Amino acid sequence: MDNVYKPDLMEVTNVRQQTPDVKSMSLRFLDPGRARNFSFQVGQFGIFSAFGYGESTFNICSSSNWKDHIEICFRKVGRVTEALWRTEEKDVVGFRGPYGNGYPMEAWKGRDLIFLGGGIAMPPIRCAVWYALENRADYGDITVVYGARTVADLVFLNELDEWAKSERVRIIRCVDPSGETPGWKGEIGFVPHVFERAQVAAKDPVVLVIGPPIMIKNTLPILDKMGVKPASVYTSIENRMKCGIGKCGRCNVGPLYLCKEGPVLTMEQLQRLPADY
Partner 1 sequence: MSTAAEFEPKIVAYVCNWCTYLGADLAGTARLEYPPNVRIIRLPCTGRIDFNLIIKALEVGADGVLVSGCHPGDCHYTSGNYHARRRWILFRELLNALGIDLRRIRFTWISAAEGRKWQGVVTEFTEQTRALGPYKELYAAGPVPNVPAPETATTEVRSFAAETELRATCRKLLAEGTVKVVIGYGARGPVVVTRPEDADRLVWNNHCYSNLTAYLKRKEIKALGKAAVIVKPCDEKSLVVLETESQFQRQDAQVIGMACEGVGQPKCAHCTARTPRFADVTFGKAAGPEPQGSPSPDRFAALMAMPSEERMAFWTEEFNRCVKCYACRQVCPMCYCERCIVDKNRPLAIDPAPSTKGNFAWQIARAFHLAGRCVGCGECSRACPAGIDLALLNISLRIAVQENFGHEAGVDPKAEPVIGSYALQDKEDFIG
Partner 2 sequence: MSEIISQAALRALATEWISAGKNVAGPARVKPDLVLYRPLRSGNDLLLEGYQRPSNSIKEFLFPKSEKLYGYKIRGNSIELTENDTPLAAQVVIAARPCDAAALPVLDHVFNWDFHDEFYNRRRAATTVVTLACIGYDENCFCTSVGLDPGSDRGSDAILFELGNRQYEVRCTTEKGRALFGGKTQKSDLTGRSATGPEKRFDSQVVREFVGTHFEDPFWKEHALTCIGCGTCAFSCPACHCFDIVDAGPAAGNERVKTWDSCQFSMFTAHASGHNPRVVQAARQRQRILHKFVIYPEKFGEILCTGCGNCTRNCPVGLGVLSVVSEINHG
The binder of 7, among partner 1, partner 2, none, by C-beta within 5 to 8 A per type, is partner 2
Closest CA to 39 of 62, 7, 55, 13: 62
The binder of 82, among partner 2, partner 1, none, by C-beta within 5 to 8 A per type, is partner 1
The binder of 240, among partner 1, partner 2, none, by C-beta within 5 to 8 A per type, is partner 2
Q: Report the residue number, 82 or 224, with the smaller CB distance to partner 1.
A: 82
Residue selected from 30, 65, 67, 78 as contacting partner 1 according to rule CB under 8 A? 78
Q: Shortest gap between Cβ of 82 and partner 1 (angstroms)?
A: 7
Q: Report the residue number, 69 or 242, with the smaller CB distance to partner 1.
A: 242
Choices 57-65, 78-86, 137-145, 200-208 (CB under 8 A): range interacting with partner 1: 78-86
Q: What is the 3-state secondary structure (H, E, C) of 259-270?
A: HHHCCEEEHHHH
Measured CA to CA, the distance from residue 253 to residue 88 in angstroms comes to 36
Choices 76-84, 124-132, 140-148, 239-247 (CB under 8 A): range interacting with partner 1: 76-84
62 is an interface residue for partner 2 by CB under 8 A: no
How would you classify the pairing of strands 233-236 and 252-253?
A: unpaired
Measured CA to CA, the distance from residue 247 to residue 155 in angstroms comes to 34
Q: Shortest gap between Cβ of 172 and partner 2 (angstroms)?
A: 26
Q: Report the residue number, 31 or 82, with the smaller CB distance to partner 1.
A: 82
- Which DSSP string do the residues of 188-230 spell out, in sequence order? ES-HHHHHHHHT---SS-EEEEES-HHHHHHHHHHHHHTT--G
Measured CA to CA, the distance from residue 187 to residue 269 in angstroms comes to 32
Measured CA to CA, the distance from residue 46 to residue 58 in angstroms comes to 6
Measured CA to CA, the distance from residue 23 to residue 16 in angstroms comes to 6
Measured CA to CA, the distance from residue 119 to residue 115 in angstroms comes to 13
82 is an interface residue for partner 1 by CB under 8 A: yes
Task: Mention every residue, 6+ apart, whose C-beta is less than 8 A from residue 225.
Answer: none
- DSSP-derived letter for residue 101 is -
Task: Please report, as residue ranges, which positions from 89 to 148 form the binding site for partner 2 (by CB under 8 A).
Answer: 90-92, 94
Q: Shortest gap between Cβ of 215 and partner 1 (angstroms)?
A: 28
The binder of 137, among partner 1, partner 2, none, by C-beta within 5 to 8 A per type, is none
79 is an interface residue for partner 1 by CB under 8 A: yes
Q: Shortest gap between Cβ of 209 and partner 2 (angstroms)?
A: 18
> Where along the sequence are the contacts to partner 1 (CB under 8 A)?
54, 78-79, 82
